[in-house]
Structure 1
Amino acid sequence: MRSDASASPRRPATDRPPQLPPLPPDSLARALWVAAEAVAQVREGYALNDGLASLWSAHPDLPPATRGAAQDLIFGTLRDYGRGDAMLARLLRQPLTEPTIDALLRVALHRLEVRPDTAHTVVDQAVEVAARVARGGLKGLVNAVLRNALRQRDTLASALTRSPEAHWRHPVWWIERLKRNAPHDWETALAASNMHPPMTLRINPRRSAPEAVIAGLVEKGYAGRPLGPHGWRLDHPVPVATLPGYAEGLLSVQDWGAQQAAPLLDVAPGMRVLDACAAPGGKAAHLLELTDCQLTAIDADPRRVLRIEKNLERLGLVADVRCGDAREPRFWWDGLPFDRILADVPCSASGVTRRHPDIKWLRRADDIGNFATVQREILDALWPLLAPGGKMLYVTCSVFPEENSLQIARFAGSHADCRRAPLGSALERTLLPDADHDGFFFALLEKQA
Structure 2
Amino acid sequence: MSTRNTRAQAAWVIEQVIDKGQSLGACLPQAQQQLANPKDKGLLAEICYGVMRQLPVLDSQVLACLDTPLKGKKRIIHCLLLAGLYQLKHMRVKQHAAVTETVEATRQLKAGGLSGLVNGVMRRFCRELEQLQQQRFDDDSRTHLHSRWFIERVRQAYPRWWPQILDANNQHPPLWLRNNASHQSRAAYLATLKEAGIDAQPGQSANALRLPQAMDVTRLPGFDSGNVSVQDLSAQWSAYLLDPRPGERVLDACAAPGGKTCHLMEFQPQLQEVVALDIDQSRLDRVQQNLDRLNLSATLVAGDAADPDSWWDGRPFDRILLDAPCSATGVIRRNPDSKWLRRESDIAALAELQQRILHACWKMLKPGGTLVYATCSILPEENVNQIKTFLQQVPDAMLLSINPDDTSDQPGWQLLPRPDEGDGFYYARMTKQR
TM-score (normalizing by structure 1): 0.90
Distance 2:112 2:10 in 1: 22
> After the TM superposition, which residues 314-393 of structure 1 pair with which residues of structure 2 at under 5 Å, given as runs?
314-393=293-372
The counterpart of 2:390, out of the listed 408, 411, 414, is 411
| Contact 1:345–1:394 (CA under 8 A) maintained in structure 2 | yes
| Contact 2:190–2:200 (CA under 8 A) maintained in structure 1 | no
Does 2:11 align with 1:36? Answer: yes
Shift of 1:225: 0.6
The counterpart of 1:68, out of the listed 13, 26, 42, is 42
Distance 2:304 2:41 in 1: 36
Shift of 1:234: 0.9
3-state SS, counterpart of residue 446 of structure 1: strand
Distance 2:343 2:390 in 1: 25
> After the TM superposition, which residues 3-18 of structure 1 pair with which residues of structure 2 at under 5 Å, given as runs?
none
Distance 2:138 2:432 in 1: 51
1:94 partner amino acid = T
Shift of 1:166: 2.0
Shift of 1:152: 3.5
Gaps of 5+ in 1: 1-7, 9-21
TM-score (normalizing by structure 2): 0.93
| Contact 2:179–2:229 (CA under 8 A) maintained in structure 1 | yes
Distance 1:431 1:249 in 2: 28
The equivalent residue for 2:125 is 149
Gaps of 5+ in 2: none
Distance 2:287 2:107 in 1: 45
The counterpart of 1:184, out of the listed 160, 170, 175, is 160
The counterpart of 1:431, out of the listed 390, 415, 428, is 415
3-state SS, counterpart of residue 161 of structure 1: coil
| Contact 1:81–1:165 (CA under 8 A) maintained in structure 2 | no
The equivalent residue for 1:444 is 429
Distance 2:240 2:108 in 1: 54
Distance 1:201 1:78 in 2: 25
| Contact 1:81–1:171 (CA under 8 A) maintained in structure 2 | no
The equivalent residue for 1:11 is none
1:140 partner amino acid = G
Q: Identity of aligned pairs, percent?
A: 39
Shift of 1:309: 1.3
> After the TM superposition, which residues 135-146 of structure 1 pair with which residues of structure 2 at under 5 Å, given as runs?
135=111, 137-146=113-122
Distance 2:135 2:349 in 1: 35
Shift of 1:134: 4.5
1:246 partner amino acid = F
Shift of 1:238: 0.8
Distance 1:316 1:240 in 2: 18
> After the TM superposition, which residues 11-26 of structure 1 pair with which residues of structure 2 at under 5 Å, given as runs?
none
3-state SS, counterpart of residue 94 of structure 2: helix
Cα root mean square deviation, aligned: 1.8
Aligned length: 422
Shift of 1:160: 4.1
The counterpart of 2:279, out of the listed 300, 311, 325, is 300
> After the TM superposition, which residues 70-219 of structure 1 pair with which residues of structure 2 at under 5 Å, given as runs?
70-97=44-71, 98-115=74-91, 118-135=94-111, 137-157=113-133, 159-219=135-195
Does 2:197 align with 1:221? Answer: yes
The equivalent residue for 1:400 is 379
Shift of 1:298: 0.6
2:54 partner amino acid = D
